[in-house]
């Protein structure tokens, strides 16, 4: 049985009277690469900060590496790497200065060669000050600072925010380097589902503070389907198929988003509904995520779409 | 973690203290602004208001009024004249103002400008402190105040020809003067035992009360007349002489009056013929004794008068004492309550009282011989002014209804004794004195509006805090706090207890979020319903 | 090593303000020493006293020599305190570096202690030695006819401690998560109150006690707020 490195139980956070995280229950085992996704304002950053003890929960609890998040000891923090949202670092420091600063907190763990290799790989001069770096370069420095101490648990809050495709690829490759070390656990939040798809084993989907999905990536991708049914005459008024999430009528076609419905059930319903044929649409993780988290009656962003 | 818990016991009261202090200060400033605006408006209104025509007085009333307001002056032979000012102007006497001189039988003797009067009246000693250039204990305290420019010092220069050669600085804590030459080196000390060269030899002069300094007619260098708690010294820095003029062995010096003592241009010398009067220092101690120190020739007398407010003067022939008295009941003890004082004022105002002015001659054995006296009746005030419970202007009264009721409690407990007692003798630190003055100015005076406001605010705190309470102790504390501090208490409560509330999903009533369970139904925040389509599979 | 690393980082952030305060103070006092009259010229303070006249007290009550340094010392101390408080506790709110700093493998106490220590060192290495130097020089023989007393030295220290109180007040305000128009400025307001109260006092013991108590209050509040605050 794998050890649980991160667990939350009923984790709840209110900002004033608005609910940010609602009874989040998670258990992330050691060695797991977990993508943490959700729409804007879903509560991802709040959840991460609760886990790291930067916020106090309204209710519930969170434990990292066996230690209560609100009382993380220095020894536990040493085993956790954290890449902050926006890669906020001390602007007046140089990369070498930051290295020296960071190293002081990891006297035994710090991998000098690894850090230097990473910085050289990203082609960053050590004497350059943080304020003179671009967003992407700062992200690279952040990652190097977080990975060099060889942390057991790496938590990253939207690490690729604002990065171009090439830099994101480099970043992910750096992360893969860490993943390849045995027993490392990674939890990272991201808006870019392609990145999550690329590296994650498990996925956590949070929507309006509520946990909607926590499963393996394959399970999620297998479960969320979009099927288009074509009818010869009229489209049925009632759709009663298991797992129905969304239903859209387009002339003689019915577009259904289904969760957890297997192919046999789909075929059976198609036959009973009198569909001429049905097609399972191939979806990317991003499409699946959008469908999974879309509200029942989604409004159009632009009025011209309603014509 | 332990530090967090331990700190809570210090930090929470500190937080409340800081918040209430800041809010009270802001409230006081706002109240002060309103009061000042009202005062400025009232002053402007008074200046522009038309004068009310004076009520018609009968002849007898006019006579009594003239007698009451006239100054009673004595000639050297004891004859009493009553001098009335024709033009009733406020402020000090103007030498060219017109006056009328009456005798005791209401006969008009003379009328004309004061400086042309044909009679030479006796001059009287004047209080040291009243003289323009007296440097008092209050002045010393002011110089010692900490300011960005540092505190100041009294420094007496001693020069020869045109160059300063020595500077003598007064050290208030050590109660002596320390002398420096112009190279900054110490040259000596001046204490009660005179000029000494070493610090170990100098004795303190005593607790400072006041001094005056002057340059004699033949010198550019100052002489100091210094009064301490029990002694009076005259210090000549140029000649390095310290003369002990007077020392009281038992009680403190209460008041010092001078006449023609200072060998410099002064009011006394301008109007008194130096050939007719002797320099006089009149010292009254707290045990009621009056001590006279005279010169030309030197003489020292003690008079056991046990009467306050006597004036003394010494001519070349005699020593005279003037006593102004009445049969009014004595003012209540200085430590007694304000209510007793108010009662006394009311009683005095509504009755008529016998008043008298007496002239005594001091015999060689210190006994007093009555030379002459003048008695008259002071009529009651036609409309005794009833002292209002709260005598302050209207705006101030209403604005102060927002002040904490705690101020009234403080005044009730401390004010009567502190304010009328020891503070008048300036024994306390200035901070408490000033603070008490401010509290006196803006106290609510047990006003009914103040009480009603307190109750309303307590009600609001009750309503606001009922759903938010974490413990009964805190809830009750805030209720009492608001009751004691009024609007300042309410604002402090709101500033420090701004927790959000939500509707409890169990009982439907408002509940705070600082506790996990609802304070009303103990229901917990329920977990959201799991959606049928949620994909939650543990690892 | 961790504490020294934090201390080094905090001190480096305080350095520009500390240097600015020190340079300004040195420049101003140099000018004042140049223009302040020396022993044989101290007589300018005493206007010619006339024989046969009573002396007005203003003619014989003086500020000590170098009293012009007082306002500079006071305002520079307050300014330095304000600058350090803002730099350490307000700026990270805008730069967003709190999460990075707080995720160090040290307790929050240690992080806060490093900040406070760095600020104290900044004061101790900038204004304090200059003030001590001024007093030492002013009390040397043949510099001033009437050298400043020890009280003058203590009053200078009071201004420096008021600067520390301002620093603590600014820090507490910076840590507050309230809106600026509510209780956020209470820390600074409290420090201002203490400064105003100080300037109506004459007893050094009472003033130093007042400052010590207010500093203790502010310190306890800063520690409590920092330990409990959400970032």
Give the CATH number for residue A91.
3.40.50.300
Residue-range domain boundaries for chain B: 2-40+389-404+444-496, 65-116, 126-269, 321-378
* Nearest CB neighbour to C54, from listed B133, B157, B164: B133
pLDDT given at position A13? 93
Nearest CA-CA partner of C116 in C64, C165, C48, C69 = C165
CB contact under 8 A, B145 and C202: yes
Rounded to 5°, the CA angle B484-B485-B489 comes to: 120
Asked if the structure places residue A215 within a domain, the reply is no
Domain of residue A241: give its range: 223-306
Output the CA–CA distances (angstroms, integers) from residue B141 to B136, B283, C154, in the order listed. 9, 23, 17
CB atoms within 10 A of CB B12: 15
Do A107 and A201 lie in one domain? The reply is yes
Is the domain of A127 the same as that of A155?
yes
Predicted pLDDT at C45: 67
| B450 touches B403 (CB < 8 A) | yes
User: Within this chain, do residues A89 and A196 fall inside the same structural domain, yes or no?
Assistant: yes
Radius of gyration of chain A (CA): 23
Query: Any idea what DSSP says for residue B334?
Result: T
Half-sphere exposure of B124 (CA within 13 A, CB side): 18
Residues A191 and A227 occupy one common structural domain: no
Sign of CA dihedral B407, B411, B414, B415: positive
Q: What is the CATH number of the domain that holds A267?
A: 3.30.70
- Inter-chain contact A90–C9, Cβ cutoff 8 Å? yes
Lowest mean pLDDT among B157-171, B284-298, B423-437: B423-437
A152 & A252 share domain:
no
Q: What mean pLDDT do residues B433-455 have?
A: 87
Residue A84 sits in the same domain as residue A157: yes
**How much of chain B, in percent, has pLDDT values that exceed 70?**
86
Q: Using a CB–CB cutoff of 8 Å, tell me whether B410 touches chain C.
A: no
* % of chain A with per-residue pLDDT over 70: 93
Q: Same structural domain for residues A122 and A242? A: no
Question: In terms of Cα–Cα distance, which of B335, B511, B345 is closest to B424?
Answer: B335
Residue A218 lies in a domain: no
Q: Are residues A162 and A99 in the same domain?
A: yes
Residues 147-206 of C with CB under 8 A from B: 147, 149, 151-152, 155-156, 158-159, 178, 182-183, 186-187, 189-190, 193, 197-204, 206
What is the per-residue pLDDT for C160? 96
Higher-confidence position of A211 and A175: A211
A36: pLDDT strictly greater than 90? yes
pLDDT of residue B129: 62
Q: What percentage of chain A has pLDDT greater than the value 90? A: 49
Å between B463 CA and nearest CA of chain A: 18
Q: pLDDT value at position A300?
A: 59
Q: What is the mean pLDDT of residues A88-94?
A: 94
Task: Evaluate if residue A174 carries a pLDDT over 90.
Answer: no
Q: How far away is chain C from the Cα of A101, in angstroms, using its nearest Cα?
A: 6
B183:C60 CB<8 A: no
Q: Do B133 and C56 touch (CB under 8 A)?
A: yes
Per-residue pLDDT, C13: 96
Does residue B281 have a pLDDT over 80?
yes
Strands lying side by side in the sheet with B71-74: B71-74, B80-85, B98-102, B108-113
Do residues A172 and A100 both lie within one domain?
yes
| Cα distance between residue B162 and residue C48, in whole Å | 9
Taking only residues 451 to 510 of chain B, the set having a beta carbon closer than 8 angstroms to any beta carbon of chain A reads: 500-502
Report percent pLDDT > 90 for chain B: 34
Boundary residue ending a domain (A144, A173, A208): A208
Q: Does the beta-carbon distance from C103 to A92 stay under 8 Å?
A: no
Concatenated DSSP letters of B58-123: -HHHHHHHHHHHSEEEEBTTS-EEEEEESS---SS--TTSEEEEE-TTS-EEEEEEGGG-S--BPP
Q: What mean pLDDT comes out for the span B275-289?
A: 88
Alpha-carbon distance of C113 to C109, in angstroms, equals 6
C17-43 burial code (b ≥16 CB/10 A, e <16): bbeebbebbeebbeebeeebeebeebb
Which range of B59-63, B396-400, B484-488 scores highest in mean pLDDT? It is B484-488
Tell me which residues of chain C have a pLDDT lower than 50: 39-40
Chains touching A by CB (3 or more pairs below 8 Å): B, C
Evaluate whether residue A217 is within a structural domain.
Answer: no
Q: What is the mean pLDDT of residues B353-382?
A: 86
pLDDT at C161: 96
- The answer to whether the beta carbons of residues C164 and C120 sit under 8 Å apart is yes
Q: Does the distance separating the beta carbons of B429 and C63 come in below 8 Å?
A: no
Q: pTM, whole model, 2 decimals?
A: 0.88
- The mean pLDDT of chain C is 90
> Which residues 44-103 of C have a C-beta within 8 angstroms of B?
46, 48-57, 60-64, 67-68, 70-71, 73-75
Q: Which of A208, A231, A247 is the last residue of a domain?
A: A208
* Cα gap C198→A108, rounded to integer Å: 51
Say if residue A35 is in the same domain as residue A164: yes
Which residue of A lies nearest to B2 if distances are taken between CA atoms?
A71
Region A135-145: mean pLDDT is 89
Q: What's residue C44's pLDDT?
A: 58
Measure in Å the smallest separation between the Cα of B532 and chain C Cα atoms.
35
Cβ separation C145–B148 shorter than 8 A? no
Any residues with CB less than 8 A from the CB of B439 and at least 6 apart, and which?
B407, B410, B411, B415
Indicate yes or no: CB of B535 within 8 angstroms of CB of A28.
no
**Which among B7, B148, B180 is the nearest to C220, CB-wise?**
B7
β-pair partners for C111? none
pLDDT at residue B10 above 80? Answer: yes
Q: How close, in Å, is residue A228 to chain B by CA atoms?
A: 19
Q: How far is A77 from chain C (nearest CA, A)?
A: 5
Residues A13 and A62 grouped into a single domain: yes
The pLDDT value recorded for residue B427 is 47
CB pair distance less than 8 Å for A54 and C97: no
Q: Do A107 and C1 touch (CB under 8 A)?
A: yes
**Within-domain flag for A245:** yes
**Which ipTM value was assigned to this complex?**
0.89
Beta bridge partners of A35: A188, A203
Residue B500 has pLDDT above 50, yes or no: yes
Q: What integer pLDDT is reported at residue A1 of this predicted model?
A: 45
| Distance of alpha carbon C127 from alpha carbon C83, whole angstroms | 14
Are residues A232 and A203 both part of a single domain? Answer: no
How many domains does the structure of chain A reveal?
A: 2
Considering only the beta carbons, identify the residue of B4, B133, B431 that sits closest to C55. B133
């Amino acid at each position: 049985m794998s050890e649980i490195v991160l667990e939350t139980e009923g984790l709840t956070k209110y900002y004033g009277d608005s609910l940010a995280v609602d009874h989040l229950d998670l258990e992330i085992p050691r060695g797991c690469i977990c993508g943490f996704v959700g729409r804007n304002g879903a509560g991802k950053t709040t959840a991460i900060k609760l886990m790291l003890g930067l916020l106090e929960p309204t209710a519930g609890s969170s434990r990292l590496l066996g230690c209560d998040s609100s009382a993380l000891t220095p020894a536990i923090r040493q085993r956790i790497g954290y890449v902050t949202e926006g890669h906020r670092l001390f602007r007046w420091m140089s990369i070498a200065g930051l290295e020296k600063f960071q190293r002081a907190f990891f006297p035994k763990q710090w991998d000098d060669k690894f850090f230097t290799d990473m910085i050289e790989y990203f082609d960053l001069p050590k004497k350059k000050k943080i304020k003179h770096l671009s967003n992407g370069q700062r992200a690279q420095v952040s990652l190097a600072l977080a990975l060099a101490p060889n942390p057991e648990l790496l938590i990253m809050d939207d690490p690729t925010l604002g990065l171009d495709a090439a830099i994101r690829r480099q970043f992910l490759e750096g992360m893969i380097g860490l993943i390849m070390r045995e027993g490392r656990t990674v939890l990272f939040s991201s808006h870019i589902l392609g990145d999550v798809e690329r590296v994650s084993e498990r996925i956590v989907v949070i929507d309006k503070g509520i946990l909607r999905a926590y499963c393996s990536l394959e399970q999620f991708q297998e479960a969320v389907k979009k099927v288009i049914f074509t009818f010869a005459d009229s489209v049925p008024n009632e759709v009663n198929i298991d797992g129905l999430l969304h239903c859209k009528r387009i002339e003689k076609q019915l577009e259904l988003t289904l969760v957890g419905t297997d192919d046999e059930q789909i075929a059976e319903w198609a036959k009973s509904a009198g569909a001429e044929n049905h097609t399972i649409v191939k979806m990317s993780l991003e499409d699946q995520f959008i469908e999974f988290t879309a509200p029942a009656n989604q409004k159009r962003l632009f009025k011209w779409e309603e014509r | 973690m332990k530090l967090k818990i331990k700190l809570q016991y210090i930090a929470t009261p500190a937080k409340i203290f800081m918040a209430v202090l800041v809010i009270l200060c802001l409230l006081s400033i706002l109240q002060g602004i309103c009061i000042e605006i009202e005062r400025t408006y009232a002053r402007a209104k008074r200046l522009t208001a038309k004068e009310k025509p004076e009520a018609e007085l009968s002849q007898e009333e006019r006579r009594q009024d003239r007698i009451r307001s006239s100054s009673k002056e004595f000639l050297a032979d004891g004859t009493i004249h009553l001098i009335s000012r024709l033009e009733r102007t406020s402020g000090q006497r103007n030498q060219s103002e017109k006056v009328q001189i009456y005798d005791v039988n209401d006969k008009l003797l003379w009328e004309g400008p004061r400086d042309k009067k044909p009679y030479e009246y006796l001059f009287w000693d004047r209080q040291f402190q009243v003289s323009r250039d007296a440097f008092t204990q209050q002045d010393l305290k002011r110089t010692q105040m900490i300011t960005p420019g540092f505190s100041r010092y009294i420094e007496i220069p001693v020069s020869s020809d045109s160059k300063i050669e020595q500077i003598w600085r007064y050290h208030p804590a050590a109660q002596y003067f320390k002398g420096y030459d112009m190279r900054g080196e110490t040259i000596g000390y001046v204490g009660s035992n005179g000029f000494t060269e070493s610090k170990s030899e100098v004795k303190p002069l005593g607790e400072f009360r006041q001094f005056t300094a002057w340059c004699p007619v033949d010198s550019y260098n100052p002489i100091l007349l210094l009064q301490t708690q029990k002694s009076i010294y005259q210090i000549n820095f140029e000649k390095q002489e310290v003369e002990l003029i007077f020392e009281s062995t038992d009680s403190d010096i209460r008041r010092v009056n001078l006449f023609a003592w200072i060998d410099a241009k002064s009011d006394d010398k301008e109007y008194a013929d130096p050939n007719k009067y002797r320099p006089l220092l009149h010292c009254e101690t707290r045990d009621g004794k009056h001590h006279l120190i005279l010169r030309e020739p030197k003489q020292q007398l003690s008079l056991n008068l046990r009467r306050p407010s006597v004036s003394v003067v010494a001519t070349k022939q005699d020593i005279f004492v003037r006593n102004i008295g009445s049969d009014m009941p004595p003012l209540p003890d200085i430590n007694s309550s304000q209510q007793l004082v108010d009662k006394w004022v009311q009683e005095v105002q509504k009755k008529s009282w016998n008043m008298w002015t007496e002239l005594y001659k001091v015999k060689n054995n210190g006994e007093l011989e009555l030379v002459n006296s003048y008695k008259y009746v002071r009529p009651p005030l036609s409309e005794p002014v009833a002292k209002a419970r709260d005598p302050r202007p209207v705006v101030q009264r209403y604005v102060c209804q927002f002040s904490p009721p705690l101020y009234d409690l403080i005044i009730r407990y401390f004010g009567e004794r502190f304010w009328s007692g020891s503070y008048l003798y300036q024994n306390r630190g200035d901070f408490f004195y000033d603070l008490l003055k401010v509290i006196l100015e803006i106290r609510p005076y047990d006003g009914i509006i103040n009480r009603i406001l307190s109750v309303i605010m307590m009600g609001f705190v009750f309503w606001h805090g009922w759903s938010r309470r974490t413990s009964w102790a805190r809830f009750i504390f805030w209720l009492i706090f608001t009751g004691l501090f009024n609007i300042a208490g309410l604002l402090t409560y709101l500033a420090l207890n701004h927790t959000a509330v939500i509707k409890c999903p169990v009982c439907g009533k408002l509940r705070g979020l600082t506790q996990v369970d609802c304070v009303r139904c103990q229901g917990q925040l329920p977990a959201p319903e799991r959606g049928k389509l949620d994909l939650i599979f543990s690892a | 090593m961790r504490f020294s690393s934090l201390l080094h980082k905090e001190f480096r952030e305080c350095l520009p303000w500390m240097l600015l305060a020190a340079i300004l103070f040195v420049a101003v006092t140099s000018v004042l020493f140049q223009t302040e009259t020396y022993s044989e010229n101290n007589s300018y303070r005493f206007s010619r006293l006339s024989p046969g006249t009573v002396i007005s007290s203003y003619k014989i009550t003086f500020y000590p020599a170098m009293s012009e340094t007082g306002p500079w010392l006071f305002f520079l101390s307050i300014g330095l305190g304000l600058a350090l408080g803002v730099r350490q506790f307000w700026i990270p709110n805008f730069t967003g570096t709190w999460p990075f700093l707080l995720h160090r493998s040290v307790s929050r106490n240690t992080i806060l202690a490093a900040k406070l220590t760095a600020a104290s060192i900044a004061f101790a290495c900038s204004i304090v030695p200059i003030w001590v130097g001024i007093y030492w020089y002013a009390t040397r023989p043949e510099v001033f006819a009437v050298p400043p007393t020890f009280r003058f030295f203590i009053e200078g220290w009071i201004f420096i401690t008021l600067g520390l109180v301002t620093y603590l007040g600014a820090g507490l305000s910076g840590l507050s998560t309230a809106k600026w128009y509510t209780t956020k400025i209470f820390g600074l307001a409290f420090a201002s109150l203490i400064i105003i109260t100080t300037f109506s006092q004459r007893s050094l013991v009472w003033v130093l006690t007042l400052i010590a108590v207010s500093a203790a209050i502010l310190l306890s509040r800063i520690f409590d707020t920092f330990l409990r605050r959400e970032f």
